[in-house]
Amino acid sequence: TQPNKKAWSLVNFDIGRPLGRGKFGNVYLAREKETKFVIALKVLFKKQIADQGIEHQVRREIEIQSHLRHPNILRMYGFFHDDARIYLILEYAPGGTLFNALKNQPNHRFDEKKSAKYIKCLVSALIYLHERNVIHRDIKPENLLLGNDDQLKIADFGWSVHEPNSQRTTLCGTMDYLSPEMVQGKPHTKNVDLWSIGVLAYELLVGSAPFHHENYDKTYQKIMRVEYVLPQYISKAAAHLIKSLLVFNPDKRMPLDQVAIHPWFTSNIK
Ligand SMILES: Clc1cnc2c(Nc3ccc(N4CCOCC4)cc3)nc(-c3cccnc3)cn12
């Protein structure tokens, strides 16, 4: 279906409370006046985008996300801009970020059933993206949102690219989710997303990232040595899946179609 090419502007929306603050702007709850349809309005400042020289990244985020249709990928309904800001019209995720949900859990972690459900949602979305040769590259709890009935949704395509790609823009924010090839700025493939699934599965089950360390260099070292400890309480199935994904050589990581049928999911999801 051809997306409706309506020209949107701020007057079409009632703006509600801020939902969260991002690096380049904030996200607000908003409602389209005529249809009363609730959305999330992500406001990006042109000046900051220009200062960081990431216009190409924002353009790509819009181009990629507005054409994707999948239950585990946050919808982008459209965008508009004024002299100072760019506005992204996004699907509202009532459950907030996975980052926030983790923080609110005792020990900041989920049980095996819930973790398996979330990872399965992520795997479905990545199969869809990889079929379209889109690599997300920035899978982490801050970029994952929760929809109705606890459906996990990938958001924030600011770092996604068409494969293959070699890193250009400097990375900022946490390094915890980066694969060895990405921290080295080497050319990387969609297998970087396989590594991130392993990191996320670990973090959901354990409550902290496998290679996390206060000190940047120590984190870098642990990633390059694939140095992490699996606590005893992790099930055999979960441990096997994590070990199959946190593999230094990108080509040796378990491929998505095998991940999708791994016993950890079949034994944990009804
Ligand atoms: Cl894009 C987009 C679509 N929907 C959201 C959303 N939804 C959302 C729902 C509910 C609650 N609350 C539920 C009651 O307890 C307080 C939080 C927060 C955010 N949040 C963010 C966001 C972004 C950055 C930081 N933090 C949250 C981005 N979003």
Atom of ligand 1 nearest to the CA of 97: 27
In the predicted model, what is the mean pLDDT of the chain? 92
Out of 24, 97, 143, 150, give the residue to mutate to test ligand 1, the one with the largest number of ligand atoms within 8 Å of its CB.
Answer: 97
C-alpha to C-alpha distance for 43 and 16, rounded to whole angstroms: 13
Mean pLDDT for 7-18 is 97
Query: How many Cβ atoms sit within 10 Å of the Cβ of residue 25?
Result: 19
218, pLDDT greater than 50: yes
Residue 52 CB burial class (10 angstroms; 0-12, 13-18, ≥19) = middle
Residue 260: count other Cβ atoms within 10 Å of its Cβ: 13
Give percent helix, percent strand, percent coil of the chain, each to the nearest 5: 40, 20, 40
Mean pLDDT for the stretch of residues 9-27: 91
Is 228 touching ligand 1 by the criterion CB < 6 Å?
Answer: no
- Strand locations in the chain (E): 13-21, 26-32, 38-45, 76-81, 85-91, 134-135, 144-146, 152-154, 161-162, 165-166, 187-188
Residues with active-site annotation: 138
C-alpha span between 199 and 98 (Å, rounded): 14
Q: Are 180 and 224 in contact (CB under 8 A)?
A: yes
Does the pLDDT value for residue 225 go beyond 90?
Answer: yes
d(C-alpha 250, C-alpha 180), whole Å? 9
Distances (CA, A) of 149 to 117, 118, 144, 211, 252: 11, 11, 15, 31, 35
168, pLDDT greater than 50: no
Looking at the chain, the whole-number percentage of residues with pLDDT higher than 70 is 93
- The answer to whether the CB of 65 is under 6 A from ligand 1 is no
The two three-digit tokens of residue 156, written as one number: 């924030």
Which ipTM value was assigned to this complex?
Answer: 0.98
Which residue's CA is the nearest one to ligand 1's atom 19? 96
Burial of 131 (0-12, 13-18, 19+ CB in 10 A): exposed
- Ligand 1 atom closest to the Cα of residue 42 is 1
Q: Which residues contact 62 (CB under 8 A, 6 or more apart)?
A: 76, 79, 88
Q: How many residues does the chain have?
A: 270
Q: What is the pTM of this model?
A: 0.93
Task: For a ligand 1 pocket test, name from 145, 150, 153, 157 the mutation site with the most ligand atoms within 8 angstroms of its C-beta.
Answer: 145
Amino acid identity for residue 199 in this structure: V
- For atom 7 of ligand 1, the residue with the nearest CA is 96
pLDDT single digits (tens) 25-70: 899 999 999 999 999 999 999 999 999 898 998 998 899 999 999 9
Q: 140: alpha, beta or left, given left = phi > 0 and alpha = psi -120 to 50? A: beta
Tokens of 67: 């054409």
Atom 5, ligand 1: residue with shortest CA distance:
93
| CA dihedral (123, 184, 213, 23) positive or negative | negative
Return the DSSP state at 97: B
